[in-house]
Chain A
Amino acid sequence: IAGITQAPTSQILAAGRRMTLRCTQDMRHNAMYWYRQDLGLGLRLIHYSNTAGTTGKGEVPDGYSVSRANTDDFPLTLASAVPSQTSVYFCASRAGQDTGELFFGEGSRLTVL
């Protein structure tokens, strides 16, 4: 089944550790996004990529980095995790930056202690 796969689905992490959340899509979508979702708040954009080889900062990029080496993969890295990064992280994709609806992965629940 075509779609977006995120890994891990859940992780508990000690503060200060490095963590990479993986995201892979098989729909050949050009645009990909990372959001975090916290209770009572809307989805907040962390980083995005309109096409392979390019990335951009969203609303809350501090403490996170991304790369887009190819069309399918868009990993999100926390260089040194802090408790405020405890959240549910969603990867999403669209056919183009101005085309189509957003498809979401199942989410990665991250707890930083």
Chain B
Amino acid sequence: GQNIDQPTEMTATEGAIVQINCTYQTSGFNGLFWYQQHAGEAPTFLSYNVLDGLEEKGRFSSFLSRSKGYSYLLLKELQMKDSASYLCAPLDSNYQLIWGAGTKLIIKP
């Protein structure tokens, strides 16, 4: 079967760094997306990894290890507006996104 594991909730301090991990098992693999979703809003695209390694985009970076079925999202210089849920979604052999339940990130002053 297909399975996505992410921590349910994490707490971090404003200005700090946080790493949100995601492990996955899918039938086939064609890349992995990370999305951000603020409460009551639609998900918005953060990153896409298809090859192993680290992709950096401003304060956000995403890492992928295909052999380990593992990805993480790294958020630096945390701001209060980063309080949101972060969704990990690998693409299966049919190019369908398989969604995890998401990690709710709480930022404290």
Q: Which residues of A contact B (CB under 8 A)?
A: 35, 40-45, 48, 58, 90, 97-98, 101-107
Q: A48: which B residues are within 8 A, CB to CB?
A: 96
A interface majority secondary structure? loop
Beta-carbon contact of B96 and A102 below 8 Å: no
**Count class of interface residues, chain B:** 20 to 34
B62-98: CB near A (< 8 Å → 1, else 0) gives 0000000000000000000000000101000001111
Given contacts A41-B101, A107-B41, 6 further A-B contacts (CB under 8 A): A42-B98, A90-B42, A98-B30, A98-B95, A104-B43, A105-B42
Q: Is the CB of B45 within 8 A of A101?
A: yes
One of B42, B45, B99 near A42 (C-beta < 8 A): B99
Q: Are A97 and B95 in contact (CB under 8 A)?
A: yes
Indicate if B48 sits at the interface (CB-CB under 8 A). yes
**Whole-angstrom distance from the CB of A19 to the nearest CB of chain B?**
20
Q: In whole angstroms, how far apart are the Cα atoms of A58 and B101 in the complex?
A: 17
In whole angstroms, what is the CA distance A35 to B97 when docked? Answer: 11
User: Measured between alpha carbons, how far is A43 from B100 in the docked complex, in Å?
Assistant: 8
Q: Offer 6 A-B interface pairs, CB within 8 angstroms, sorted by A.
A: A40-B101, A42-B4, A42-B101, A42-B102, A43-B87, A90-B43
